[in-house]
Amino acid sequence: MRNLLICLLVAGLSSTVLAQDAFAQSAESRAEARRLQGELERRAQRGAWEGVEGTYQRMLALNTELEFDGHMIGAQAAGALGKTWERYQRLERALALQQEQEIVDSMSAIDGAYGRVRLRGNPRWDVVFTRPVQPFIPDQRKSIEYGSFVLTEGGQFEGMLPAGEYVLGGDDTKETLTFTVEPGEDWQVIDIQRGYARGGEGIVYHGPIATVGYAFTASPEPSAPVLIDGFSGGERHSAQPGSVTGSGLGVELGWEVGPTRLVAAAASLSYSGLVFGGEDTFHMGYGWAGVALRPGNLRIAVGPTYGVLRGKGTGVIPSFDVGQDPGRYQPQNIGYKGSAWASGARMTASYGLLDLEPLQGVVELGGHWQTDGARSYFDVGIRVGIVPKVPRFEG
C-alpha cells in the first residue's frame, strides 16, 4: 500500500511538471507568434516581400494557429514573388477563417487565368523554359519568371502558370517540346526529358575574381636551428629571420566557374607585399585552387596554396651560428636575404554588397597559412573586390 501511494505521488508530480512545461512552451510559442506577426506587418508596409515570405514561413513552422491577416499578407507576398500556387493556398487558408466574397472572387480569377502544372524532371538538370508570347499583366509575367527560375534551379516545377503556350528547350538544347497550359483546377503532368536541359559543359555561371586590400602577416621564428647543405659538404646554419610581423597590400586575380549555383571551382594568383620597418621587406606570391560555396550573397572559398616567398632585412634567430664573434656579430645585427617555396591552405569569406551584373561587389575577410618546412607564415586581411554574380531569381 505504501509503495502504491509513493508511485501515485511521483506520477502526480511528474504530470504537474510536464503540464507546467507544456504551458511554458505554449506561452513562449504564442509570444514568438505575436512578435513574428508584428514583423510580418512591418515588412509588408515597406514592401519587403522576400522578408515577408521568410517571416511567414517561420510562422508556419511554429505550428501555431495563424490569424486571418497573417494568411492574407502571406498571399500578398507570394503574389509579388510570382508564387501563384502558394498565393492560392494561402487565400484558401484565409477563407477558412473568414468568409469574404473578395477572396472567393480572387481565387476564381486565378482559376480562370492560370493552370496547374507538374513538370517532372531531374534536380541536376538546367532546364530551358520559355514562353514565346509574354502576357501583358505584371503578375502573370512574374509567375512565369518564378517558374523559369525553379526549373533552372532544380529541374522540376509544381505550381500555377498563366494559361498559354510554353516551350521546354531552345537553341542550346537537343530537343524542344511545346505544350499548352489550360486554365482550371485539373493538374497537367509533363515529364521533362534530358534533351530539354541546357547542353554544353553544364556551367551555370563563370567570371573573374579580383580583390585588393589590407594584409597583416606574422611568421614566428623556428624553435630550433635550421640547417642547410653547405658548399663543401656537410651542413651549415641558415640565417633565418627572427619573429616578424607587418602589414601591407594584398592583391588577388583569378577565375570562378560554377557548375551549380551552390558549389563552384575557382583558381587565383595572389601577392602580398609587406614592409616590416626600416629596410626589412617581405614579398609573397602564390597560386590557389579550391572550392567556393555560394549560398545567397555569401561566398566561402577554401583550398590549398603553393608559392614563393622572398625577404630581406636585419635580425636573425638567436641560434644562428657560423662561428662568428658574438661580440662583433650579434644575431639582431646580422642581415638576412633569401627565398623559399612554401605550401599551405587559404580560406576566405566574402559577402556581396553591390550588384554589378554580371559581377558582384564584395567585402572579404580571409586567412592564409604556409610553411616551407622550417617555419610557418600566417596572414589575415580584409579586401574589397568583385566576384561573378550567381544568377538567381529576383523577387
Domain ranges of the chain: 2-99, 114-196, 205-388
In contact, 74 and 52? CB cutoff 8 Å: yes
User: Which residues in the chain come in under a pLDDT of 50?
Assistant: 10, 13-14, 16-25, 200-201, 232, 395
Pick 114-196's CATH classification: 1.10.10, 3.30.420, 2.60.40, 3.40.50.
2.60.40
CA dist., res. 10 & res. 2, Å (int): 13
- Let me know if domain 2-99 sits in CATH 2.40.50: no
In this structure, the strands spanning 227-229 and 244-258 are unpaired
pLDDT of residue 89: 95
Helix/strand/coil for 192 = coil
In this structure, the strands spanning 227-229 and 177-181 are unpaired
Task: Tell me which residue of 355, 377, 374, 352 sits closest to 363, measured CA to CA.
Answer: 352
CA distances from 352 to 21, 186, 296, 386 (A): 43, 42, 9, 9
- Let me know if domain 205-388 sits in CATH 3.90.1150.10: no
* Residue 75 burial by Cβ neighbours in a 10 Å radius (0-12, 13-18, 19+): buried
Runs of H (alpha helix) within the chain: 2-46, 49-61, 68-80, 84-97, 101-113, 138-154
C-alpha cell at 281: 621587406
Helix/strand/coil for 4 = helix
pLDDT of residue 360: 93
What one-character DSSP code corresponds to residue 224? S
In contact, 217 and 369? CB cutoff 8 Å: no
